[in-house]
Amino acid sequence: MSSPPTPGLRLAELAERTGATLSGDGEVRIAGVATLERAGAGTIAFLANPRYRPQLATTRAGAVIVAPTDAAATPLPKLIAANPYALFAKVATILHPRRVEDAGVHATAIVDSSARIASTASIGAFAVVGAGAVVGARAVVGSHCVVGAEAELGDDVFLHPQVVLYARTIVGARTLIHSGAVIGADGFGMAEEAGRWLKIPQIGRAVIGADCEIGASTTIDRGAIDDTVIEDDVKLDNQIQIGHNCVIGAHTAIAGCVGIAGSTRIGRSCRIGGAAMISGHLEIPDGTVISGSTGVYDSIRTPGVYTSAFPALPHREWRRVMSELRRLRDLAERVKKLEQNAKSADDDRT
């Protein structure tokens, strides 16, 4: 069990700052968050998934976050909200704020004389900032990052170590980019001639909106002619590939290992599960949900939940199912012939 050493904040203050409803002793001091199972004095736990409801009776948390329907299930001091998981996110952000980096340029950083660096920005050790680049107020460029020529970072952008932004990449305010991400690399643009490939210059940009998060080792290619655009509040998990000229609508969330081929337009507030593969030059409307491992090969016209992955089966059962599937084509041909024969018989009778 965790037992934070700091006095923390009063539960009543957390309620006031998050807009939650307070029930119970508001003077309880909370210094950190924890799970119901591992919480101890001085921590606050949350219940969002009904499967963990029995743990409310045994948790040693100092307070809990619950929905109104679960408020009577525990005598502990509590914060109540219709969306306890969102409330947990707010509380955790208050109790565990991101470390504030010291402003200034590290002695080992290489910053071009024409770059414009805000006085409150932080440039880490061995970072490189190219000619004409702009780094906004309170932005953080971690160690070993590369900010290419004429790239622009908005206020409060945070680049973890070893992020690479190619030339002319734009990153909006408050966006967070994790280590190993590469933004603005060449798209995979090739033309074939006489059995050989001719590289097509990629002259567009990668434009990232405000309040986005880009996971570790995710890659976003710049546009071939027009820009690749990631709109505001898009959340990208680790190891995602986004091809050139894609547009990802605001508030969309994409899980790890998704591949999105070039010139795909994904709407606002979509959710895409891990390892989904999306072909290029297609459109997906606002509010669409794509399940993990789903392959999308044509445009989707109507919002909804789309799934194409084959569920896992015991190997012997899978072989039997696949054997039946392989016979479907023969079965379809036999049915077609039967229908044709039946139609011919009907014609003869008439």
Catalytic residue list: 244
Q: Which residue in 2, 7, 18 sits closest to 65, CA to CA? A: 18
CA distance 162 to 141: 9
CA distance 244 to 190: 12
**What radius of gyration, in Å, describes the C-alpha atoms of the chain?**
27
Could you give the 3-state DSSP secondary structure of residue 286?
coil
CA distance 18 to 261: 40
Both tokens of 10, joined, read 């009063």
- Please classify residue 109 by burial: count the beta carbons closer than 10 Å to its beta carbon, then call 0-12 exposed, 13-18 middle and 19+ buried: buried
Q: Are strands 29-30 and 253-254 parallel, antiparallel or unpaired?
A: unpaired
**Rounded to an integer, what is the distance from CA 14 to the centroid of its chain?**
27
**Rounded to an integer, what is the distance from CA 349 to the centroid of its chain?**
64
Phi and psi dihedrals of 287, rounded to 5?
75, 10
Q: Is the dihedral of CA 147, 201, 222, 296 positive or negative?
A: negative
- Tell me how far CA of residue 4 lies from CA of 14, 192, 299, 307, in angstroms: 17, 62, 51, 44
CA distance 60 to 316: 46
